Chains A and B, each alone.
Chain A
Amino acid sequence: MDISMSWLKDYVDVDCSTKEFMDRITLSGSKVEGLEVLGDISKVVVGQVKEIEKHPDADKLLVTKIDVGSEELLQIVTGAKNLTVGDYVPVALDGSILADGTKIKKGKLRGVPSNGMLCSVEELGCDEHDFPEAPENGIYVFPTPQAENIGKEVKEIMDIEDEVVEFEITSNRPDCFSVLGIARETAATLGKEFRYPEIKVEAKAGGNVADMISVEIENPTLCPRYVARAIKNVKIEPSPRWMRKRLRSAGIRPINNIVDITNYVMVEMGQPMHAFDIDTISNRKIIVRNAKENEKITTLDGVERNLDPSMLVISDPEKAVAIAGVMGGENSKITEGAEAVLFESACFDGPNVRITAKKVGLRTDSSSKFEKGIDPNLALEAVNRAVQLVEMLGAGEVIEGVVDCYPNKRETWKLNYSPEWINGLLGTNVSADEMADIFEKIEIKVDRENCVAEIPTFRPDLEAQADLAEEVARFYGYDKIVPTLAAGTPTVGKKTYSQTITSMVKDVMIASGMCETMNFTFESPKVFDKLSIPADSKLRNVITISNPLGEDFSIMRTVTLNGILNSLSTNYNRRNEEASLFEIGKVYIPKSLPITELPDEPSKLTIGMYGKMDFYTLKGIVEHLFEVLGMADKVEYSPESTIPFMHPGRTADVSVDGVSFGYFGELHPKTAANYNIGTRVYIAVIDMEALIDNANLVNIYKPLPKFPAVTRDIAMLVKDEVIVKDIESVIRKKGGKLLESMSLFDVYKGSQIADGYKSVAYSITFRAADRTLVDDDVNAVMNKILDGLKNDLGAELRDK
């Protein structure tokens, strides 16, 4: 909301600097967003053209002599064509500054000295809407003689100076979307008197509007009040300079006196108005009703709009003449020679206007005011203010009387309050009287004895005691509330167990050299094809956003892989040699489709990397993670060849007690190609929930061994398809109690090994808790192990 300081000062004295005003009103709740200084020009004065001669060396230039009130005439070269001797014009002197910041200096134009510049309205920061008489391309020529003003600054003479303060008004304060609303706040903030405009109407035309028009409201919920007054002998002309200036300050384009008056009242009082040609209303009967199915109206901007029954229209018995609160119809527009004009000042339901404006795609100054909610009690004053301005401007003669259809009057309401409670909430010690003073400043009537506040109807936001507490705080000063640290019942600040595990996972990833990433959680349904996920996969049961930013952002992900693969692709295609990325993020799994209850949102750890590494680099990281979480012993790794986007021979499933909780391995080269990655990619996806459930952070001490260990190395020949996991399970089973640990130290295929076989070598360590092992002990166990390997896996001990 842009507010002209000069307009504001009509209703309240602001005797501090504008800067101080802006600071203080911001701290009392009307936040200032910016300041625009209009007419910020200097050394541009009124001058009179005394001589005009042709430039000796340039056909398109003229050499003028200008009287600017100094002893000598000023020689100025100009390209303008609209000058005659005797014209009064704005003259930018040597050293002057124009509206856009340009500095004017004297100099030579094609060899002829020029001591300044003659100005157009644009150079003064204005346009043809401020000065309709200004030529389209040319120097501004004052329409009346300015002999007494020669040499004076034009910003004063032309009245172009002003300061416009831009406010951010919050949605709870529709009353502040007006000059008067801000004036009321200003008065309360600065401790000044708020002067409400004196509204008087002479109504010289006599008669009575009630004889000219009748109004019927069919839907009082959507239109609580409809007020109208009429004028006749309308003279349509441009409105005077002061009114145009004020409309411009509010960002509104002046049109003609009648339209300008409606806009002026809207800016000043916050009441949108509409003016009709009364002759276009058939039967002289206005009906405020819901639109009919498929009804159409051509609005003032010439566009045909489709209406539906949720929308409210102003109509006569035959046709709609306006979309209520949004825009008038072309069919009732005021044209030259209109005999009588009807001013509508009505109150429409905010949400309904908002939805209508959205549906018809037409958000107007009027609709944006209505959608915030307007006090119906404003309508009568506003229409009177409008016809008062008609009289002031001589735009017509006002007819007596008012049509006022107001089925359910909005009354003031009373709120009990307790100064103790308010002080208790704020942590202040404001006296009851001080509170009452604050309330009265903002037109709340107070019964001081009983602490009852009577709320004016323009403050619907004041519904309860807490709202009154805010009013006290605002004017007492938020800055004066003393900061304290809440004592109360102490609480322990800590992470939950699952948050702790999540932090640990992150720490392990980072310690393993991975960079954490952030990815979008909604994506394109095409992701499933990109990952070759079968058509009947459950993963394709997705939650779809009904109003997405586009198909690419339309489903909530059920797999995390796409985000990290896109990130790897970005890195790969930017020629980054390696990238090791991870993300801890959610997937969104619907319980049923279409969804009726909230989905599950399990978190996944996703790792994605490429560069100098192989499968076992990734496995090392995964193993390290399980080790840190104290769950390494529980995890089983098995070959996994069924995940469509993973390499069928280089993927492992991870499980605990037979329950799978993730997989890792090499990405399928086809999938890598789908993401434009031309190298091997390693991927891990692990359920965070399983990590949280299986982590074991509390360790019990085991006594250190007292007796020495014995280590035996064996190398065996097994068929290629025998996996290490099976060998180890035999060793573990046969090794019994004495087995302490085993470690794989060699896997070899080559010249001395038959095709289809490999050599696998283990170092096996035995230890007893109660004695030193002797060879016989160990030999016995080793024999069991070797037998087991031979019988179960066909392993042959290799000759040393």
Chain B
Amino acid sequence: MKDQLKAIQEKALLALDEVKELKELDDLKVKFLGKKGELTAILKGMGKLTAEERPIIGQLANEVRGIIEEKLEEAKKSLSEKALEAKLKAETIDVTMPGKQCACGHKHPMSIVIDEITDIFMGMGYEIAEGPEVEKDYYNFEALNIPANHPAKDEQDTFYINGDILLRTQTSPVQVRVMEKGKLPVRVVCPGAVYRSDEVDATHSPIFHQLEGLVIDKGITMGDLKGALAVFAKELFGEDTKVRFRPHHFPFTEPSAEMDVTCFACGGKGCRVCKGEGYIELLGCGMVHPKVLKMSGIDPEEYSGFAFGMGLERVAMQRYGITDLRLLFENDVKFLKQF
């Protein structure tokens, strides 16, 4: 019987060495170890053995079973690995083929610029204010110290609805509306569309965008104006940006200034873009005119403030190298998808 067991062991191990597929393994398991398998068949003859022989043969039979099972396990593992390997190999794809993209939308370049600028000012404690585009003459001109017959009214080529109502020519009327609310201190920026009677061409549009800023508090100085706008310019154009303030005139600020920033094209060395100046005009600003404060119900003896305003199309055009303003309103997806 001993020999029979040994023979089964050898036969089984030999068969297992030959196995190529997982399926065969199961067959072999049944064949040698199953209820009707060879090992079981031999063990059925145990009854004929003597009491001394029985434990010895029993132990041997268990050993044989153990060896075969171990071998089976081994073969199973190795075959599974091979099978996986083969499967993965078969699944190889060309990873250099293009990906399946989800549709990707794009923000309009003007929106990107507006968001970027408003984000900078929000970080400095400014809220975003809004106001109507169809506006009263009072807010667009009179309350900003631009009386009837003032040449500035002509210069701006206003679209009128009637004698009192017009399309705002600047975002400055929002200043007045914010001041009138009487909540102090004020720190706001107001981006928005404005209208002037310019024919459409590469650098003009009757509808364009401005951003206005207003700060009113006790003890605000022109130094604060310079400080805030210098921080803004560095945030927008980079840490190396220098600013230059030149005296200018706006009816609603006094003193007034224009702020230039280092030319983005040459970094200040002087080039064709900046006409050799090294600087490019970015915005108008100044200390809010005491008359304007007073008209809006704020005591100029107690409060002071500064205001600034800039055209946004120019910022966008410079930033993105856009040379024709009309592209911004054409909405060709070949253009829009570049941003």
Contacts and interface: CB of A to CB of B under 8 A. Distances in A.
Interface in B284-339: 287, 289-291, 304, 328-334, 336-337
Given A499-B128, A598-B136, A427 B222 contact: yes
Contacts of B84: none
Contacts of A780: none
B97 to A, nearest CB: 20
B160 A519 contact: no
Given A483-B227, A496-B127, A513-B102, A519 B329 contact: yes
| Residue with the highest number of chain B CB atoms closer than 10 Å, among A461, A594, A598 | A598
Contact of A546 (B102, B104, B162, B221): B162
A570 B206 contact: no
A506 B151 CA distance: 40
A26 B246 contact: yes
Nearest to A608: B331
Interface of A: 26-29, 31, 34, 170-173, 350-351, 354-355, 358, 371-372, 424-428, 461, 464-467, 469-470, 473-474, 478-479, 481-486, 488-496, 499, 506, 509-522, 543-549, 553, 556, 564, 567, 570-571, 574, 576, 578-581, 586, 588, 594-595, 598-599, 601
16 contacts: A27-B244, A31-B248, A372-B151, A466-B254, A466-B289, A486-B217, A488-B217, A489-B185, A509-B105, A515-B336, A545-B159, A546-B161, A576-B333, A578-B333, A586-B133, A601-B134
Interface in B185-222: 185, 187, 193, 195, 197, 199, 206-207, 215, 217-222
A576 B334 contact: yes
A449 B323 CA distance: 58
B171 interface: no
Contacts of A595: 161-162, 165
Given A486-B227, A516-B107, A29 B162 contact: no
Contacts of B60: none
B179 to A, nearest CB: 15
A601 B193 CA distance: 13
B226 A474 contact: no
B295 to A, nearest CB: 14
A52 to B, nearest CB: 46
Contacts of A474: 247, 255
Contact of B124 (A424, A493, A598): A493
| Residue with the highest number of chain B CB atoms closer than 10 Å, among A371, A486, A489, A570 | A486
A470 B108 CA distance: 40
B224 interface: yes
Contacts of A506: 107, 111
Contacts of A545: 159-161, 167
A517 B254 CA distance: 38
Contacts of B90: none
A355 B154 CA distance: 10
B32 interface: no
Given A31-B246, A31-B248, A481-B226, A544 B107 contact: no
B125 A518 contact: no
B133 A493 contact: no
B88 interface: no
Nearest to B291: A464
B331 A171 contact: no
Contact of A427 (B167, B224, B246, B258): B224
Given A172-B249, A483-B230, A516-B106, A495 B149 contact: no
B110 interface: yes
Nearest to B119: A493
The 10 closest A-B pairs by CB, nearest first: A513-B103, A427-B223, A427-B221, A29-B247, A470-B255, A170-B249, A510-B105, A567-B331, A493-B122, A351-B149
Nearest to A27: B246
A469 B255 contact: yes
Interface of B: 102-108, 110-111, 121-128, 130, 132-136, 149-152, 154-155, 159-162, 165, 167, 185, 187, 193, 195, 197, 199, 206-207, 215, 217-224, 226-228, 230-231, 244-249, 251, 254-258, 275, 287, 289-291, 304, 328-334, 336-337
Contacts of B206: 520, 522, 549, 553
A158 B19 CA distance: 113
B121 A512 contact: no
A473 B110 CA distance: 35
B286 to A, nearest CB: 8
A473 B255 contact: yes
Contacts of B256: 470
B194 to A, nearest CB: 11
Contacts of A29: 246-248
B249 A466 contact: no
B249 A473 contact: no
B228 to A, nearest CB: 7
Contact of A598 (B151, B165, B251): B165
B336 A516 contact: yes
A588 B332 contact: no
A484 B224 contact: yes
A374 to B, nearest CB: 13
A481 B161 contact: no
B217 to A, nearest CB: 4
Contact of A571 (B199, B218, B222, B332): B332
B134 A543 contact: yes
